[in-house]
Amino acid sequence: MTAVLSGLLLVAALAWVATAWWHSRKPLPPGLHVIGPWRRAEALALLLDEAFLDPRGRLQRRQTIFAEWQRLIDQARRLVVVDLFMLDDGPLGRALCQALIRRKARVPGLEAVVLVDPINHCYGGRPAPQLEALRRAGIRAVICDLAPGRDPNPAWTALWRGLFRPLGNSSRGGWLPNPLGAGRVTLRSYLALLNFNANHRKTLVVDHGDGWRAVVSSANADSDSRDYRNAALRLAGPAALDLLHSELALARRSGLRAAPRCPAPPAAGPLPALPRLRLLTEGAIRNTLLALIREARSDETLDLCAYYLAHRQVIRALVAARRRGVTLRLLLDPNDSHFGRPSPGIPNRQAAHELARAGLAIRWSGNARAHAHGKWLLRHGGGRPATLLIGSANLSRRSLDDHNFEANIQLEAAGDHPVIRAAQDSFARYWLNRRGELHSRPFDACDDATPWRYWRYRLMEATGWSTF
């Protein structure tokens, strides 16, 4: 009997290890880890949402991202595809859903697809009234299936895939507090939440006249994001089709039937002249980010805005760039809270303390009421074209190592291009608190890292037991 039990335990352990290994390394399906071809940049615009304190200490907002989303939706006649990590029934989410419903009513032949992360119905444990309203209006609202992706938390997800995922979930009979908001949820919602993976993209693609336009963003359409600083890039042309086909591939794997017809992106041609851009998703973002930092020269500047900065390769590359004489300026969110709950500043305060000791210039972006949620890197100066990398990806293992679903754009342009100048000007305004506005604070204001917190961050980042 003991031998039989030992054998069963060995088989179970081997199955657990094999499942964990496979689902953290398996090949990704089409639509993920996209390295788009270089395309001619068309109809570019840098879109910024800003929340800051005025000279009297009052919270002020300047918002352009979802205003542009609504403008583009209001002119669409054939197809709208939205992909959002968070879309709730707060002010931003309601306004976006109403814009979609209004346009569908005015143009009944319009096809509209909204793809969202399972967090929006608490992994099946809560109703999602905003999604039901879209479906009643004839808009196809799809919950993204995360199973084809890789698992960032293999120690847990090996058990999840084998034991708990087949049980499904229900929005009835919840008895535990909702970890993400009001109401009650089942235990199965918590079991799903512990996977810590997500469809983290924030994109829009629409037809525009005879062509296509897209927005690739860091902004969610949830209640908290109204007070967040975010950044997005609007673009047009073949790159918008590259994004559209990646999004429809995700939607089809998540249950979308009879996917909308749309033209195929043109084949890649010779390297286009400046300005040019390309789509990058998932781990392709990491590879490009590291290349930009590692290839930076001593006469160039790297300006970085990050909501989360935790990836060890990125941190080492930044330190090495500083040693080569590259000018670096980092605007980091202090991570006072995660999902509305107080946080000890993990991971940014711990990573920032390490980087500050290496001589990097750091300021804390945002304030107690407004997170700095933008994620972008601008390399400029010297004799080369400037490069802007912008989108949804945090600088963490989950976002950069093919675990979360992410979408970014890499733009190369002359240093005097309007988008590059706008990025430079906005970063300087945040760094220097111009116009009497409070956008950032000195590094000493939140430098409270401790050895315990530092090694806690390192363990969380390495194992995947983290929300960043």
CB 252 within 8 A of CB 245: no
pLDDT at residue 164 greater than cutoff 70: yes
CB 149 within 8 A of CB 28: yes
- 202-244 pLDDT, tens digit each: 999 999 999 999 999 999 999 887 789 999 999 999 999 999 9
- The pLDDT value recorded for residue 361 is 97
At 34, the amino acid letter reads V
DSSP state of 122: G
- pTM metric for this prediction: 0.95
Q: What does pLDDT average to over the chain?
A: 93
Question: Rounded mean pLDDT of 136-145?
Answer: 96
DSSP state of 465: -
Domains observed in the chain: 39-253 (3.30.870.10), 277-463 (3.30.870.10)
Max CA distance (Å), the chain: 78
Two tokens, residue 139: 């808009």
Closest C-alpha to 211, from 42, 448, 368, 12: 42
Distance CA 146, CA 199 (A): 7
Provide the pLDDT confidence category of residue 340 given band limits of 50, 70 and 90: low
pLDDT at residue 24 greater than cutoff 90: no
For residue 208, report the phi and psi dihedrals to the nearest 5 degrees. Answer: -145, 100
Task: Report long-range pairs for 127-136 (Cβ below 8 Å, ≥24 apart).
Answer: 127/171, 129/89, 130/87, 130/88, 130/89, 130/93, 130/94, 130/97, 131/87, 133/97, 133/101, 134/97, 134/100, 134/101
- 303-325 pLDDT, tens digit each: 999 999 999 999 999 999 999 99
Half-sphere exposure for 270 (CA within 13 Å, toward CB):
2
- The pLDDT value recorded for residue 42 is 95
